[in-house]
Structure 1
Amino acid sequence: MKRIDSNETPTALGISFLDIKRPLHDKKEEVWIYSHFLLDGHHKMFAAAEAKKAIGLLAFLSLDESFASKEQIDTLFRAFI
């Protein structure tokens, strides 16, 4: 909490996955699920939430474990540019 109060912006570490799903009722529709899982920094996140302040997140996207093609992952990254 001291680090958050001193206007320092700590960074947490996570891993991300991109899953592309298709609903049963509409095979043409795609639902993109971009999930982040926190690996380290739980206390930093809690302190930032209590103080209502921002925190950084360094997340690595797992290409091998995502249910998405290379083209879909490229599309995801182009959306952030």
Structure 2
Amino acid sequence: MPAIVGAVQVVNISSSGTFNIGDVYRIEPYSATKTYAGAGSFNTGDFIRTTTTNNQTQVLDSDVADMNQLLNV
């Protein structure tokens, strides 16, 4: 079904961002990254209180590939 879109103003799109207007069949990433972080690392807000004891971040990864990006060109 066709989409009807009014006025759009795009201020900024990051290098890994996606901008779409209207109908889309498929959106696929062009890159994949892996992030390691300990407990409570990605908390956001005004008044965050975390209690974390004995935190260990496991970074050992024995896989050869986690996400294949071969066909995303």
- TM-score, normalised with respect to structure 1: 0.22
Larger proportion of strand: 1
Larger helix proportion, structure 1 or 2?
Answer: 1
Which structure is higher in RCO with an 8 Å CA cutoff and minimum separation 6?
1
